[in-house]
Amino acid sequence: MAFGVNKSPLAGKEGKFLTSRMIRDRLYKELDRNVALKVSETDSADVYEVSGRGQLHLTVLIETMRREGFELEIGPPTVIEQEIDGKMCEPFETVEVRVKEDYVGSVVDMFNNRKGELQDMGIEEGGGEGLSLIKYLIPTRGMLGVRSALMSATRGTALIDSIFDSYRPRITGAMGAKEKGSLLAFSDGEANTFDC
């Protein structure tokens, strides 16, 4: 993820640590105790590339810094690719989803749109409630954002487990399209759930 100085119109409203020097010092201080973190400088003087053990690892760092009074601009998560035998390779994960039979179609459709490869599908042994077990091999970049979409599609009933499998040649093409838009705020004020 890219960590940088907040350049939005509302910059400076919430935090007290705003400059790139303060952000840089805090990120490099984090390296002393967080051995799984990697911080790199970029071409831009006020943006740093931060690599970690996954979205949760970086999310914890972001929330900790926010609570300490840092105001940041965060880029979208990306996967770390490697060149193996002259080919660009990306990480793949083995994913197991346990879900009620009513939602199997939604889960299969979602993972197929994200370039997943179906490994196995059947009824879970000893599941009791008729849960289906679906196993996929999927690129890690296809897993970005899938958990919340999966919870919406299955009404919160899906159980998902994933583990790193291997690096494989990069799959070309875009992953499943983003279904919802973004809201941009250009001024502060009260936010309503619905347009009023």
* Rounded Cα distance, 38 and 22, in Å: 17
**pTM (predicted TM-score):** 0.69
For the CA atoms of 13, 19, 25, 28, the dihedral, rounded to the nearest 10 degrees, stands at 80
Specify if 109 maps to a domain: yes
Which single residue is written with the structure tokens 């973190």?
Answer: 37
Give domain status of residue 92, yes or no: yes
The predicted-structure confidence for 83-105, as pLDDT tens digits, reads as follows 999 999 999 999 999 999 889 99
Q: With pLDDT > 90 as the criterion, what percentage of the chain qualifies?
A: 30
CB atoms within 10 A of CB 53: 10
Q: Where is the domain boundary, 74, 109, 129?
A: 74
| Cα–Cα dist 94/39, whole Å | 28
Domain that holds residue 147: 84-169
List pLDDT tens digits, range 97-141: 999 988 999 999 999 988 889 999 888 776 557 788 999 999 988
The CATH number given to whatever domain includes residue 128 is: 3.30.70.240
Same domain, 89 and 153: yes
